[in-house]
Amino acid sequence: MTEVMNRAARRAARKGKAGPTIEVTDRVSVVPMEHVETYFKYEVAREGKWRSGVPLVIIRPSHDAGRADSAWFPKTLQRLWEARKRKGALPVSVEGMEIDVGLIDIIVSFRIMPGNKLVLAQTDDEKNKLLRENLIHLDKVCGGTLHDQMIIALAAHIFRSDGELLFHYHNLIFGLRQEVRGDLDVLGVLDMQPLMKALSRSGGLDFIGGLKQ
Tell me the average confidence (pLDDT) per consecutive run of 10 residues in the chain, 213 residues long: 53 54 90 96 90 92 92 96 92 86 96 68 80 94 94 92 84 93 84 93 84 50
Alpha carbon distance, N-terminus to C-terminus of the chain = 28
Domain boundaries, the chain: 27-207
User: pTM here?
Assistant: 0.86
Task: Kindly give, in sequence order, each residue whose CB lies less than 8 Å from that of residue 118, ignoring residues fewer than 6 positions away.
Answer: 111, 112, 165
CA distance 198 to 145: 8
CA distance 41 to 38: 5
Cβ atoms within 10 Å of 139's Cβ, excluding its own: 12
